[in-house]
Amino acid sequence: MPEHTTAAVGDGFDRNARDAVYRAMFTRRDVRSHFLPTALDDEVLARLLLAAHHAPSVGFMQPWNFIVIRDAERREKVRDLFLAARQQELPAIAEERQALYRKLKLEGICESALNICITCDRERSKGSPLGRSHNPEMDLYSTVCAVQNFWLAARAEGVGVGWVSIIEAQALKGLLSIPEHVTPVAYLCVGRVSEFAPKPDLETHGWGRRLPLPELIMSETFSGQGEVLLKSTVARLNTVSAAPSSPR
């Protein structure tokens, strides 16, 4: 965890509370391998959904719906969609990485306690689409904010979440009877886990590494150098946060 020496405390947030928010972010994982067969309490799931529902949304549109999928047969069909999509994706992967790609575990559809599909109703603000005339995709982005709230709340509850993106959307829509004007944004595997891995799986397995954050910061324009002090501060914090977070 980074040090917190210079900041004013946020309205209502003392240092422990602020650290908890950061800890949820730094220790959140895209879970595929560590789901337990334990059931997920409705009380907990309700809190996660409430967190999602408090995401920001363009024009206060709240375009989301939450389809809770528990049925084993339906989930097997969804996994079949994943298996087919993974097979189709393989040729798009660089040849020297295909063996690794095949070994990666990329979903926990059937092992997790339940699945949730978070959708976006593209017509919910019909008539007065505040904020969507120039950027019609803003409703999809709002729905992603709901996904991220759900994910972080889950982490704080000790619940794992994995987002399955290797799936053909039109086939998924058919399987879940999702109408034409509604887009499935995220298909999530959700449940209790044996652990949260210390690093992202894709980092552990050598698929990628975390990029150096200072190189991603630009000043004034996309090619703009500058922000020297900010970048050096970021570099220092990044080093501290790479260490395991202390159990405060």
Cα(151)–Cα(24) distance, integer angstroms: 9
Q: Counting contacts by CB under 8 A, is residue 83 touching a second copy?
A: no
Q: Counting contacts by CB under 8 A, is residue 61 touching a second copy?
A: yes
Q: Which two tokens stand for residue 210?
A: 């975390």
Q: Which of residues 120-139 bind a second copy (CB under 8 A)?
A: 127-135, 137-138
* Closest approach of a second copy to the CB of residue 54, in Å: 5
Q: Which two tokens stand for residue 25?
A: 């972010």
Site string for a second copy, 193-232 (x = CB under 8 A): --xx---x-xx---xx-xx-x--xxxxxxxxx--x-xx--
Kindly state the helix (H) or strand (E) to which residue 162 belongs, with its residue range: strand 159-164
What's phi and psi for 64, nearest 5 deg?
A: -85, 150
Contacts 24+ apart (CB under 8 A), 90-95: none
Continuous H helices in 106-213: 138-156, 169-175, 201-204
Closer CB to a second copy, 11 or 243, in the complex: 11
Q: Which of residues 142-201 bind a second copy (CB under 8 A)?
A: 144-145, 147-149, 151-153, 155-159, 163, 165-169, 176-179, 182, 185-186, 192, 195-196, 200
Closer CB to a second copy, 81 or 111, in the complex: 81
Closer CB to a second copy, 33 or 148, in the complex: 148
Closer CB to a second copy, 92 or 243, in the complex: 92
The three-point CA angle 83-84-85 to 5° equals: 90
Q: Which of 27, 13, 1, 47 is nearest to 155 (CA)?
A: 27
Taking CB under 8 A as the criterion, the residue among 33, 36, 67, 197 binding a second copy is 67
